[in-house]
Structures are given as structure tokens and as C-alpha cells.
Structure 1
């Protein structure tokens, strides 16, 4: 049997969807399992044993109809028996259709359901602490009565050499293993997913004052100006603990460095999901417009904690749907003062450092 799993979204989604491949590997140990993802997300999948091949969806396929058609022909030649389309957008709709696979499964959408042999309706209520994101992905494989038993965590696999090299890199930058090391997800993927800079700076001050930890900032090159703005808002004492210019030159390098951290704290996003996949404790701050229950994976109140403005000021969210909250996100963020969740942060630091 040849199985194709398609997930072309961002890193967090691609990583989370690896649980589908893991479940398929257990269910069909002799099958060939391929995982189709965008090229830029490939580093979180390297060394993963739960699929046989990574099928890269390159940017050129989006830019050139000719290149995309050539890709579709190649996919068809593979002759897949079973396709699971987790993405469910136009590109993956066409890929699924072109496979010619006898069995094609995806999430239910009234306008694309005819393309698939089976569609699954997402549940909006979780039945475990794994999160809706995990549970709904498993529904693409298992009947409802098996979901709880089949829960598993996304995993990232690093080699000993990668970890050793990252440790040596940290040592060479004066970061000793005896001192706690905390990664700060200082910025979200967009402004609407980023705690106000002053609030983030105040939180980092609290972390350093409480733990004396070394601090690394997680940001991408085009966010350096904003990351520096947060740094400049922290106290001089705090700044002496922040290794602003210590960062990896690749995503794989970042993962290896993250594996040496005692925790990751900050804005919800891909970095949080990567930390959880490396079994690193996380303290996550959700944007006001993101539904926490969708992505607070395996929250246990100790090693995995998340906070949302609605936890403290639910009245701000009455009679507002997702679209309204997204539009008002920047208006709601000023209410999300660190004082609201500071006690939870203290408890998290005490338990995990």
C-alpha cells in the first residue's frame, strides 16, 4: 500500500500532522508512507522514522503552472492507494484529484467534498488534554471510539552530533550548562499574535530576576528591529543575561539549540510546538483572537501551561466571533497585562527550573 499525507501549512501544522504518519505506520507497518509539505518546513521532519519519503512542494510550483502540472504528473505516476489531505486548499485539492487514488480523505467542506471518497467533520470540543488540533487529525484515520486510545505527541528527532555541536556553540558564546537557559519567543508571526513589547520586556525582567537564567531570543532576520526594541525596553540588569546575537543560522540549528534549553516562554506559534516536540517545558501566551483550546496541546498545569486574555477577562469576549476578535486583536492586547498571569509564571519557573 502506498499512502500520501498532505500538509502544506506552516511549521506548527506540519509538525503536528506528523502524528498522522506515526499512526499510519503503526496501523499499516508494511505500507510506504510519503509526507508532502512545503520545502521550508522540511527541517522539522528530518530523521523522523514515521514516513518513508518527504515530498517537497516547491515555491516554483506556485509560481509556474507548467512546473505545477509537471509535479502533478509525477505524483500520479507514483500510484498512491490512499491519500489523506490535511491541508484542504486548492493546491492539495488538485494534488489529491491527480493521484487517482481509490481512497481520498480530508476534512469536510461542502464545496470540495465531492473530490474525496470520505470527509470528516471537525469537532469543536476536545475530549483529552491533547487539544482539538491533535484529536481532529486522528479523526482522519480512526473512528471516534479509538481517538482517546491513539493520542500521541508530535516529535522532533535530532542526532547526537547535532546536539553536541549546538552545545559547543553555546559554550563558545559563554553560555554554561550549569546556568538555566530559557528561550523567549519574543515575537509572534505577525503583530496580531504578539504581546505588546513593553509587556514582553516586563515579563523577561521578572524571569531574569527570579531565575538568574541566560536568555535567548527567538526571532527571524526580518524581525531583528522589533526584537531589539523589546531588548531595549528591558532593565540593564536583564540585558546582561540576554544573549541577543546568539542564534542559529538554520532551522535545524535552532532546534538543536532549543534542545539545550530548560524552557521556552512567549508568544504562541511554531516555536512552542517545536519545543513541545522536543519535550521542553513551555509557557505560552495566546493572542486574543486565537482559540486556546485548538492549540494548547498536552497542557498539564506544570510543564505545559498557556494563558489567554479570556481566562481573566471573559467579558471582553462575549458575543464576538472569530472574525471580530481578529479585527479587534490589537485593541484587546493592552488589557493583557503581565500582572494577570504573573503568579502562573512564577509557579512555572519554580517547577521547571
Structure 2
């Protein structure tokens, strides 16, 4: 069986989609699974052994471009896919498999995609509370799984593969000393400071960890560079050489490898949180207005800290420097205690 998956366009969603690929491979061991996704996803997809080929989606997020999607779909006809799974809910995401004449095209109903999809599932959000469950459910025939309780347990959570040689080489590339264990911080968030743990809390935590003999690396995109600089500059001068602000300096693939070499990771609700979970790193995930009820870190080594309940649609923080009060209220001492517990568990 040859399968085409139209993948998500966000890091966290792409990571969770691996549970579908793993489930498909478990059900159809001989299946060839290709994933069409933005080119930046290739470093993630290349580390998923279930994925045969990552096919770049040349169109930007939100672009309709029917003509280009038609040309893209027609170019895929010679591959003779048997099935397609469309993970985004948009109408336009279902166009390429339709133009490619793939016989069975599966996905949740989304934007009224009848015709484009011929295996349409109707979503009951209460029956399928987690995004990963919604992805995995598509691997089974329509009607077989009535709710998340029917899915085979345990779910096959995401797992990325990184070699020890890659870890050594990439640490050397960024001059990360082998003299101290590495703790990773992911202080960025897609929607700005409202979903970020305050930089001064990160700095306080870094000061404690460096004092204990660790070094700290900060990961994120170029727009997280300033937040990383704030964290490093808030440290005592004698500790600053052990705080490495790599935000914007690493390609995604390098960040994945370095996170894999961390002894533990502290992160906001972000795409890199899901990467760290898939790398099986001890992980403390800090939530504020966003909720872990839909997209939690999928790892038995993850601890979620959140002081409020429910979902709060916030794009701008309600307190100092744009931070959300619920994140300000999470104290560094609490995070440090959780880290110590997780790392002790690794040593046993």
C-alpha cells in the first residue's frame, strides 16, 4: 500500500502526527508512507523511521493557489498512491490528493470537504479530546472507533531518532563544553510573551542550575533571540559564560540534535516542547493561558505545571512586560524541584 499524508504546518502538530504514521506502520507493515509538508519539516520527518519520503509543499501557509495545487496533484499521479490522509482541516489542504486521483481520501470533515474527501469523518470533540487521538483515529476504518476509549492502548507516541555521533559533533559545532551536563530552555512562544514564562524566572532557574554544575542552552527562532539575551544578561557575570543563547543560531535539525543531548528541558507550551517529548528528555512544561488538555507533551518523563484551569484565549499578557499572571506565579523553586525529581528518576 502506498500512502500520502498531507501533514500539518506547525512544529507541535507535525510531531503529534507521527503517532498516525506509527499506527499505520503497525497496521500495514509493508506500507510506504510519504508526507507532504513545508520544506522546513524535513529535519523532523527524516528522523521518523516510518516516513519513506518528505515531499515539500511549495505553497505558504494560507495560500489557496488552486492552479499550483492542481499541477502538484497531477505530478503525483505517477506515484499511484492507494490512500491519502489529510490532517489539516482546511478545504485547500484536500485539493492535492483530489487532483492526484488518489482513490481513498480520508480526513475529518473540516471546511465542508465532501467530494474532495470521500472518507469523511465527523468530529465529536468530547469523544476525541486530544489532537493526537484525532490523528490516530484516522488510521482505522470509518465507524470502527467511536471514541478515544476504543483506540488501542497505549498509543504509539512520537519518537525521534538521534545518534550519539550527531550529538558529539553538534555540541562541538556550538562550542558546548563536555565538562558540564546540559539543560535546555525553550523560552519562546509563537504568540508572544503571553505564553512565555518570564525571562527573570528563567534567569533565576539558570543561576541555580549553573551553581549546581550545569550549563544552560536556550533554543528558539530568531525572534526569540531577545528573550534569550535577557535571560543571559540577568545572570551574575561569572555565570554568563555557561548560558548559551542559541535562539536564531541553530537550524531546526541542529536544535533537535542538541535538545536530544540535554539532560533535561524546561519549556513553555511550544513546538520545541513536543520535540523534547519525542526525544524522551525529562521535561518540565509550563502552561499559562493555553491548556494542556488538547495538546499535552506526549511523554512519561514530562511534568506539566499550570496554576489555572480552562482555556483562556489570550494573545497579549495582562501583566508586566506582556506576561500572563498565571505564568508569573509559577516560581523558579517549584520548577527546580520538579527538575531534580525527574533527573533523579533518570539516574535510578
Q: Could you state the TM-score of these two structures normalised by the residue count of structure 1?
A: 0.82
**For the residues of structure 1 that align with 2:26 and 2:240, how far apart are their CA atoms?**
48
Q: CA deviation at 1:44?
A: 0.8
CA contact (8 A) 1:3 1:80 kept: yes
**For the residues of structure 1 that align with 2:71 and 2:95, how far apart are their CA atoms?**
13
Does residue 314 of structure 2 align to residue 326 of structure 1? yes
Does residue 273 of structure 2 align to residue 272 of structure 1? yes
**For the residues of structure 2 that align with 1:55 and 1:98, how far apart are their CA atoms?**
16
CA contact (8 A) 2:278 2:299 kept: no
**For the residues of structure 2 that align with 1:218 and 1:158, how far apart are their CA atoms?**
17
Match of 2:305 in 1: 307
Does the C-alpha gap of structure 1 residues 39 and 245 become closer, same or farther in structure 2, counting only changes over 3 Å? closer
CA contact (8 A) 2:280 2:299 kept: no
CA contact (8 A) 2:183 2:215 kept: yes
- Which residue of 321, 327, 332 maps to 1:336? 327
Match of 2:130 in 1: 132
**For the residues of structure 1 that align with 2:171 and 2:82, how far apart are their CA atoms?**
44
Give aligned pairs, total.
332
- Runs of 5+ consecutive residues of structure 1 not aligned to the other structure: none
**For the residues of structure 1 that align with 2:139 and 2:263, how far apart are their CA atoms?**
35
CA contact (8 A) 1:15 1:273 kept: yes
Does residue 265 of structure 2 align to residue 257 of structure 1? no
**CA offset digits 1:219-250 (Å, max 9, x no partner):** 22233223212322334454242123598642
Does the C-alpha gap of structure 1 residues 286 and 36 become closer, same or farther in structure 2, counting only changes over 3 Å? same
**For the residues of structure 2 that align with 1:225 and 1:27, how far apart are their CA atoms?**
46
Q: CA deviation at 1:304?
A: 0.8
Match of 1:118 in 2: 120
Q: Which moved more, 1:337-346 or 1:276-285?
A: 337-346
**For the residues of structure 1 that align with 2:222 and 2:296, how far apart are their CA atoms?**
27
Q: Which moved more, 1:278-287 or 1:91-100?
A: 91-100
Does the C-alpha gap of structure 1 residues 113 and 148 become closer, same or farther in structure 2, counting only changes over 3 Å? same
Q: CA deviation at 1:347?
A: 3.1
CA RMSD, Structure 1 to Structure 2 (Å): 2.9
CA contact (8 A) 2:189 2:268 kept: yes
Does the C-alpha gap of structure 1 residues 189 and 24 become closer, same or farther in structure 2, counting only changes over 3 Å? same
**For the residues of structure 2 that align with 1:49 and 1:219, how far apart are their CA atoms?**
25
Q: CA deviation at 1:327?
A: 4.7
Does residue 155 of structure 2 align to residue 151 of structure 1? yes
**For the residues of structure 1 that align with 2:259 and 2:35, how far apart are their CA atoms?**
25
Does the C-alpha gap of structure 1 residues 224 and 341 become closer, same or farther in structure 2, counting only changes over 3 Å? closer
Higher helix share: 1
**For the residues of structure 1 that align with 2:274 and 2:85, how far apart are their CA atoms?**
22
Does the C-alpha gap of structure 1 residues 207 and 334 become closer, same or farther in structure 2, counting only changes over 3 Å? farther
Q: Could you state the TM-score of these two structures normalised by the residue count of structure 2?
A: 0.83
CA contact (8 A) 2:2 2:31 kept: yes
Q: Which moved more, 1:147-156 or 1:277-286?
A: 147-156
